[in-house]
Structure formats: C-alpha cells, structure tokens
Chains A and B, each alone.
Chain A
Amino acid sequence: MWSFILKRLAQGVITVWFIATATFFAMHNVPGDPLLNDRAMTAAIRANVEAKYGLDKPVAEQYVIYLGNLIRGDFGISFTQENREVNDIIREHFPVSATLGILAVLFAAAGGVLWGALTALYRNRMPDYVIMFFVILGISVPSFVIAAVSQLMLVGVNSALGVTLLPVAGWGTLSHMLLPALVLGLGTMAYLTRLMRSSMLEVISSDYVRTAKAKGLPAARIFTKHQLRNAILPVITVLGPSIAAITTGGFVVELVFAIPGLGRYFVQAVQQLDYTVIMGTTVFYGAFLVFMVIVVDVLYGLIDPRVRMQ
C-alpha cells in the first residue's frame, strides 16, 4: 500500500512540474505586453520594471528562478494589482472556491449515487423515466444557462413568498452557498447518475445478488450490503476527474452568482494579461487537482484491493 501511495505521489510531483513548465513556456509565447499600458513608459522606467520582475534575463535563467520560487512556494507579485502578492490572492480567494467545490462534489456524488441506484431499481418504470429525463437535461443544458435560469427562479420564489428563502447572489453564509453549489454539481450529478445506473444494472443481474436473494436476505440488506457497495466502485474512479471539472467549472457559477472565488480572479487576470497571477493560479490549481486525483486513487485502492495489485 505504501509503495502504491509513494509511486502515485512521485507521479504527481512530476505532473506538477510538467504543468509548471508548460505554463511557463506558454506564457512566454503569449503575444501582447502587460507593460505596454496606457501609462507613459519611457525606456528607463521599462528597464527598471523589467529588472524588478526579472524579465531582462535570458529565458532559461528566468525559468530556473521561477522553478526555485515555486519550490519555496512563492508565486510572485501581481503585475496589475499594485503590491498584491499572488500568494495573498490565492490565500484569500481559494478557500471560497474550495468550499463551493467541495459542497458541489458532495451534492453531485450523493445525488448521483442515489438517483442512479433508484433508476436501476425502477428500470423502465415511471421513476426511471422521470429521473433520466432530468439527467438528459442536466447533460445537455450548458451550466451558464442553468445558473441564470435557477437564479431567476429563485428571485420568483423569493418574491412570491415575500421572504428571502435563499439569497440570490453573494457570499458569506451557508444559505449563499446552497444554490451555486447545486448548480455547479448538476452536470457532474447527471453524469454520475448515468454511470451509477449502468453499473447498478450490471450488479443487479449478477450471481451474488441472486444468491443473496435465494438465501432469503431482506431487500434492504441486499441493497446496502451487496448492490450499492459494488455498484459504487466505478463512480469513485471518476470522482477524481469530476473534482477537477467541478473546480474549474466554477468560473461560470462564480461569475453568475457574484462569488469572490479564485476562478473569477483567474478570468480577470487572463483578460488583463497579469502573467504572474495566471501562472500562479494555473500551477496552484493544477497541483491541487493532481493531489485530489491521487487522494481519490488511494481511496479507491483502499476500497478495491485489486487496484493496488496492478
């Protein structure tokens, strides 16, 4: 088990290095110039600014400095927001995105497993059709449309009730988080439901379930002990990539619901060509996602011993 974890961690470190390198060279090929702003920039000032950010050195040397700073956990200073360190931006806004993301993953996983199991149990009957209709809707309607429409519906509900059931936008309390998290997790929930349904169908027709039925076990016990446990395995495998999809998918939800998350700052930084913020956020996000995938892999190894053997 430990060798498995260590191997995955080593792979993760290499992946993060790969991400950092790709980001660095991609950013160095970006046309456009963050220093070419509306402000007057004489050659002397320009040289000073370039020296300050280390932009006057050869690319190879910059790369080495960049990697060294990364290892020390220093992402540099923002180009456009005066005196603001990228680390500060991440420290301030990442917890918001992470909270939202975790809540969304919880929604998606719980909903996906539950609905998927239900559709399989009620195969080709009314509950199956109804849930699958919503699943198809969740898969084919873009998240920004769902976000906007649900926000609009919430406005309607709030004004119809005369009280603020849930706030429409903003951030702060748990009630602010519920709707954005639900919207954010919806696409993944639909995907997981489909996956859970097909894996559950396979389990239902398996020999050990038939044996359990023949032994006369109560249906509830068969469901929890035999069916759910086995059917949930494929769902856990895709949970890692799903977390990645959900956290980056947060850009839109953060925009629509006015949530001060990291995604919004990333989009803003890209629009302003704020190199250090873009590089810092990308590497940070990348490392986070790689780490999450490793965690899920290890969990999967714990649950299903066959994985470790490979």
Chain B
Amino acid sequence: MPSHPKAALDFSPVGTEREVHTLSRPSLSYWQDAWLRLKANRRALVSLFLVIGLLLFTLVGPWLWQVNPASQDLDQVSQPPGVDRSALVVDPYTPWLGGATAGTGLRLAEPATTQSVRLAWDALPSARGHRVYRNLFPVGPELAYGIPRAEFFDNSTLTFEDRLDIKPGTYYYTIVALNADGSLSRETSALTVDVQRVTTVAEARERGLVANEAALVPGDRVELALHPLGTDYLGRDMLARLMAGARVSLFIGIGAPLCFVLFGVFFGSVAGFIGGKTDQVMMRFADFVVALPFLLFMILFKIAFGIGPGESGVMPMLVALVLLMWPATARLVRGQILQIREQGYISASQLLGAKTHYLILRHMLPNTLGVVLVTLTFAIPSAIFTEAFLSFIGMGVAPPTPSWGSMSNEGIKTMLTTPHELIFPAALISTTVLAFNLLGDGLRDALDARMRNRE
C-alpha cells in the first residue's frame, strides 16, 4: 500500500494526555450556578455594587473624611453644597447709631454683610410709625412679609440694624406704615438685599482658616472650611453626619436581621425536626408573636428595654427588632425542614448511620440556606425602614447620634428653605432599601433550584 508523503504531517496520534471532545458542560455546584445566574441579572449586579459602595461609604468613608460629625461650623449654618465659601475680611463690628444717608425709599445705609444689615428709610406719607419685616421669599400678592424684626411707634427713628442670624444670600425687607392705633396700613416700601459673607481677622484666626495669620488684613479674602454636602441647621458637616448615620442605620439594618434570622433558623429547624406536640406548641407561640402589632410593640419594647424617649441608644431597638421579627424566618425554615425531612437522601443518610446533628448540619441547613439568604436580604430593608420610622417620630436614636431617619426628621422642618438637609438622608435610605430589595429579587431568582439549567 503506497503511503502518501503528507500523511505523517497531517495526522498525529491522539495520545492520552489530550482532552477528548465531550458533549457535557463543566459540572457546576449549586452556588457556582447561582452566582452565574446572579451575574447575568444586570439589576441584581448593579444593586450588589450599590450595597458594596454603601458599605465602603460607611466603613472606609470616615477614614477618608475625618470631620467630627458633632462639631459645629457656626460660620456656615444650613449651607447647601457648592456655595461660594470665600469671605471678605473686614474690621471688627462697631455699633451703629443711625445717621443720615442719601437716597429715597427703603435703602441700605451700608453694604449688607453677614455682620449686620443697616437699613434706612424716609417716613412713609401717612405713617405714624413703621414695622420692619424680613423674609426669605419675595413678598407675594398675599402680602406675606415674613418675620417682624422691629417696630417704631413714631417717625423719629428711620433706621434699623438687623443682626439676627444673617446668612449669605438674598433677603427681602419690607417696611410697613403703622396707623395711629398701631395697626398695619397698606403703605409699604420693599427692598431686596444681597448679603455678603464677611469675617474678621480675629475670627479667621480663631477658626484656623489661614496659615499665615500675621499677614491677614481687612480687605483680604479667606476660604471657609469645606463641606462637600453642605451643613445642617446646627452647622454640622452633612457628609460626616451621613457617614456616622450610616453606621447606625446599617448596624440596625444588618445586625438585627442577622440576629433574628439566626434565631429563627434555630427555632424553626428544631420545631420542624422534632415535630409532633413540640412543633405544635412552638409554632403556636410563633403565631402569637406574629399577631402582635409590630410598631406598637416595637415602641413599647424600646422603652421597656432602655430608657425613656430622648435618651435611648441603638441596642434597645436591636433587641426589640429581634424579639418581634424572628417568627417569619422560623415558619419558613420549619416548612423547609418538614419538606426536606421526607426526601430520599435523608433516609439514605439515616440508613448509612448518620446522627441527628449530622443530618441537620450537613443536609437540612445547607438546603435551606438559599431561602434563608433571600429572607435576610428582604429583612434588611424593612429593618432600615423601621429604624428610620422610629427615628422620625422621635423614638429612635437620641441626639446627637445621627441616623438617617433622625436626619430626615430634622431636614423635613426646613424642607422649603434648605432642601438638601432632607434630600441627602432620604436619598440614602431610598437607595439602600432599593438596592437590598433588588438584590433580594435577584438572589431569589438565582437560588431557585427550579430555575437551574433553564437557559
């Protein structure tokens, strides 16, 4: 048989070391498979990154942004993020005794600064006196003048100096003529005042705003301390408070579910495994706990375990949450255990001589782990909500400890003028809850054994 010269080059023996083509996919464990499916779910993956980001924000953030969340910056109270932080250095404040100034109507006697706003006006034609108002919004058709700042019952004083809590920004001043009996007439004169931020040499020094103190003279500009997310109504740094608040919110939000899920797993697996009368009694008890009105008892337990309102810490809330929320997990795990107990592999294992604890630890608990994990992710948002809710109605952590809920509560009061104080904590609560909910959805789909191998 003539052999072709090329044959030796084209073909080579297969040998034993080379892999033969097979038709089967690589075998995947339950968890590998679930992870693959979770990765394929874009929403779940994004929420997983969000959760990791939140954890970094809480745990690593305070190292990167080392500002005391309780320290107050009185130069910047209720400042939204991104405002101009520069301040003009001026001479120290000197009292003003009024004085003649040129001009007509309501006018500024001197440039308006955060030190003082000095107003002067000419007596309104029919006025027997004047009342000075200040507002944060333009006076609309409904004649909302704002807060009354001063009242003069004759026309001898036609100047007013406002020093009350003036922040940089725009104010709307109005003087209203008074009738003889002291009531308001409809005669008014209005003025829009833009206030400039100023500071003095002594103040700048005291607050450590400048490196070279000696060179500072009136007329220079200095930069005030940086607050990336602004400050709250007491001049505290929002970013630092959000980070500190995250610690409380996430500690409750993750710690409490972990505790009660663990307890629920223990309770449920014992009830499910022993069965019979014990199971009946245990589950009846769980039913009663479920029937307790949750928020009422949450509040009740919180005051029972710790201290009255306004002085309570984080632990009472944690204990109350754990005491009230375990039965859901217990029921779920019991149902699972009851199901698994009848499975063939349990009998097989028993026949092979497996002990009870081996059965529970090796076969039953691992097989309920998926369900438990999903419960845990869904319990986290509800715990965070509960904390926020309690803090909002004033039953949560006590000031000055910040939590997202109590920050929202404080922010809601000044929602109209400084919305950032509400927006940031509320957005963080919403994002966290959303992330954990979506992650739970993804996990439920990924860990559902019925979904396995369904492409």
Contact = CB atoms under 8 A, between A and B. Distances in A.
A31 interface: yes
Nearest to B419: A152
A142 B429 contact: yes
Nearest to B304: A26
B394 A144 contact: no
A142 B426 contact: yes
B295 A249 contact: yes
B76 to A, nearest CB: 25
Interface in B398-440: 405, 408-409, 412, 415-416, 422, 426, 429-431, 433-434, 437-438
26 contacts: A18-B292, A22-B292, A27-B300, A32-B308, A136-B438, A139-B433, A139-B437, A140-B431, A142-B408, A144-B409, A145-B412, A145-B430, A148-B412, A152-B415, A244-B294, A248-B293, A248-B295, A248-B296, A256-B412, A267-B393, A270-B303, A270-B395, A282-B296, A286-B292, A290-B291, A293-B291
Given A141-B430, A289-B293, A15 B288 contact: yes
A29 interface: yes
A192 to B, nearest CB: 15
B296 A144 contact: no
Nearest to A271: B309
B301 interface: yes
Contact of B293 (A31, A255, A273, A285): A285
B307 A31 contact: yes
B392 interface: yes
Contact of B430 (A14, A140, A252, A267): A140
Contacts of A15: 287-288, 291
Contacts of A87: none
Contacts of A161: none
A26 B300 contact: yes
Interface size class of B (residues with CB under 8 A): 35 or more
Interface in A40-68: none
Contacts of A290: 291
B388 interface: yes
B390 to A, nearest CB: 10
B385 interface: yes
A278 B301 CA distance: 12
B258 interface: no
Contact of A140 (B293, B405, B433): B433
Interface string A265-294: 011001101000010011001100110010
Nearest to B381: A140
A251 interface: yes
Contacts of B295: 248-249, 251
Interface string A103-142: 0000000000000000000000000000000001001111
Contact of A266 (B296, B405, B416): B296
Given A19-B293, A244-B293, 4 more contacts: A27-B300, A142-B385, A252-B389, A289-B291
A267 B395 contact: yes
Contact of B297 (A139, A145, A282): A282
B360 interface: no
A255 B306 CA distance: 24
Contacts of B392: 142, 144, 252
B351 to A, nearest CB: 33
A139 B382 CA distance: 10
A277 to B, nearest CB: 12
Contacts of A230: none
Contacts of B299: 266-267, 270
A87 B409 CA distance: 31
A160 interface: no
Contact of B304 (A29, A136, A266): A29
Contacts of B291: 15, 18-19, 286, 289-290, 293
A141 B384 CA distance: 11
B304 A286 contact: no
Contacts of B429: 141-142, 145
A145 B434 CA distance: 15
Contacts of B305: 29
Given A140-B430, A144-B392, A30 B304 contact: yes
Interface of B: 287-288, 291-297, 299-301, 303-310, 381, 385, 388-389, 392-395, 405, 408-409, 412, 415-416, 422, 426, 429-431, 433-434, 437-438
A290 B291 CA distance: 7
Contacts of A293: 291
A278 B293 CA distance: 13
Contact of A19 (B287, B292, B303, B426): B292
A286 B293 contact: yes
B307 A141 contact: no
A99 interface: no
Contacts of A142: 385, 388-389, 392, 405, 408, 426, 429-430, 433
A80 interface: no
A282 B300 contact: yes
A152 B416 contact: yes
Contacts of A256: 412
Chain A CB within 10 Å, residue with most, of B293, B416, B426: B293
Contacts of A139: 433-434, 437
A309 B303 CA distance: 43
A36 B388 CA distance: 30
Nearest to A151: B415
Closest 7 CB pairs of A and B: A140-B434, A248-B295, A26-B304, A140-B433, A32-B308, A15-B291, A145-B426
A205 B34 CA distance: 26
Contacts of B412: 144-145, 148, 256
Nearest to B441: A194
A136 B434 contact: yes
Nearest to A250: B295
Contacts of B304: 26-27, 29-30
B292 A144 contact: no
Contacts of B409: 144
B300 A145 contact: no
Interface string A10-29: 01001100110011001101
A227 B34 CA distance: 32
Nearest to A16: B291
Given A32-B308, A145-B422, A267-B394, A140 B296 contact: no
A14 B285 CA distance: 11
Contact of B300 (A14, A18, A23, A271): A23
A32 B312 CA distance: 12
Contacts of A141: 426, 429-430
A148 B389 CA distance: 14
A250 to B, nearest CB: 10
Contact of A252 (B293, B308, B393, B437): B393
Contacts of B381: 140
